[in-house]
Amino acid sequence: MKRVELLPPGLFFKANLHSHTTLSDGELSPEAMRDAYAKEGYQVLAITDHNHLESHEALGDGHFLLLTAYEVDFNEAEGENWVRGKCCHLNLYSPTPCPPGQPDEGMSRAYTPESINAVIEKARSMGYLVSYNHPQWSMETGDNYNRYEGCFAMEVRNYGCTADGRQDSDNILVYEELLRHGKRLGVLATDDNHNRHPFGHPNCDSFGGFTMVAAPELTYEAVFRALQKGDYYASGGPEIKEVWIEDGCIHIACAPCEEIILACGSRRADRVARGNGPALTGARFPLEKTDGYVRLEISDEKGRRAYTRAYFPGDDFDESVYEGSPAL
């Protein structure tokens, strides 16, 4: 049976797709942010200051890429009551380094699904990719986020929330709920860093969540296209090298890890654990037609996790790959 690549092997570029500078409520300048992330081995950075859209293309070079983006805030309450109210934050990623306008300009920013969906729709019509950010920190529930339409991905990990001691770390249960409600989203891991603590401090909110983008080259067009296609994974540490389907099974290759999990669109699941044996560097799981979608998670010796997005028959692979597959 033919091999179907879900996450292609080859070049991966390490990206932080959510960060804040002195242009909003961060402590570092855009230049200092670029220098810090380049030093830590990142190749892609999106500076997503609150409600402030600005191209930082000039800060990049052939080895480091700046994506043009910003974060739009919808808040239920303002002022001193802000911390008690719900909110919805969206990151908007421009299709080009020079943005084709600011999508929310002149539009309502009321905290209602109608206003939120209107901005998402306007952004998409202009070519932007829209991500849904930190749902638990936002204190939203399914009554809120299940009504949002048109996001390409959500933050399954937001390290800034972890570093601040908030309740939000890995939002995998929110992701599962959105999938069950018919949303076909990818998953991002980000820092959402503001850098109120110095690098090396236990509460520093940099370098704890990243998205690995599989693109043929480090150019704006190639990286943006890879995000559009879903050629990326989210991680707090572990490395995934490749995901593919062959002979009725889904396969994953990864850096040495402790556990690999297959999750599906039903109660079916499967798991391979290291136990007392050597570290795992891959696994294969049989597929079954009734499961709707499949996704994979891995964890390392420190308990850090990496996640693929959900892959769907009909969109990501032909349903014939299930033929002859043993039941899970």
What mean pLDDT is predicted for residues 167-175? 81
Sheet of 240-246, strands arranged across: 4-7, 240-246, 249-257, 280-286
Domain boundaries, the chain: 9-235, 240-322
The mean pLDDT of the chain is 95
pLDDT class for 321, splitting at 50, 70, 90?
confident
C-alpha distances in Å from residue 321, one per residue of 196, 309, 314: 49, 18, 11
The whole-number pLDDT of residue 63 equals 97
Q: 308: closest CA among 224, 246, 205, 239?
A: 239
Dist CA 219 CA 225 (whole Å): 10
Residue 270, classified by CB atoms within 10 Å of its CB into exposed (0-12), middle (13-18) or buried (19+), is middle
Fold of 240-322: Immunoglobulin-like (2.60.40)
The whole-number pLDDT of residue 2 equals 80
pLDDT class for 320, splitting at 50, 70, 90?
confident
Per-residue pLDDT at 270 exceeds 70: yes
Q: How many residues are present in the chain?
A: 328
Contact call for residues 151 and 132 (beta carbons, < 8 A): yes
Dist CA 101 CA 250 (whole Å): 42
Fold of 9-235: TIM Barrel (3.20.20)
Residue 241, classified by CB atoms within 10 Å of its CB into exposed (0-12), middle (13-18) or buried (19+), is middle
pLDDT per residue over 82-113, tens digit each? 999 999 999 999 999 999 999 999 999 999 99
DSSP, residue by residue, 104-124: TTTS---SSHHHHHHHHHHHH
Structure tokens at 201: 């401090």
The whole-number pLDDT of residue 1 equals 61
